Amino acid sequence: MNEMPVDTKSNPWKPSLNDEGRLDIRNKVVFSIDPIGSLDIDDAISFETLKPSGSRNLEYELGVHIADASYFILPESASDLEARKRGNTIYLADRRFNMVPEILSENICSLRSGSPRYAVSVIWKLDESYNVLSVWFGRTLIKSVSEMSYESAQYILNGSGLFPSGEIDIMESD
């Protein structure tokens, strides 16, 4: 499709690092949790413990980041009309039918570890009791630090704190 961005080995796609109106949060610890071998990593999360200056209370920042395919798919374009017909990606045991072209779903919009990517994010600030203090919605530039598997996430939840499969350790050390 002529309307898709170019992304080849000789001409790799790179996001504009100074896209106005987009919050640059590449310094945040952002990670995805998907099945092993996933190619279409379309969502990620972030979590940070904050200690506001002059306060004894902790606050938390929780972010949910969704790949921003809308940056690449213009309203009423052939890709937009086809995506509307499909409605979502369909997963079968041996294949899948993508809602958007593969160059987006598996590459440019896939929130791959170490690659700057465009996202649409919601970021909540929470108090110590997890009550919502504020909410921010907007377009972001993120850089995931880990493509975590469900198994690795469960391993951490079970109390290990370390990734069993060689994935980086994003947990804070005591």
Separation CA 32–CA 112 (nearest Å):
8
Q: Please write the tens of the pLDDT for every residue from 7-30.
A: 888 998 888 887 788 999 999 999
pTM recorded for the entire structure: 0.84
Cα(25)–Cα(19) distance, integer angstroms: 12
- Evaluate whether 67 touches 118 at the Cβ level (below 8 Å): yes
Express each pLDDT in 114-168 by its tens digit. 999 999 999 999 999 999 999 999 999 999 999 998 988 888 888 765 555 555 5
- Domain locations in the chain? 21-68+109-165, 71-108
Three-state DSSP at 139 gives: strand
Q: What is the SS3 assignment for 133?
A: strand
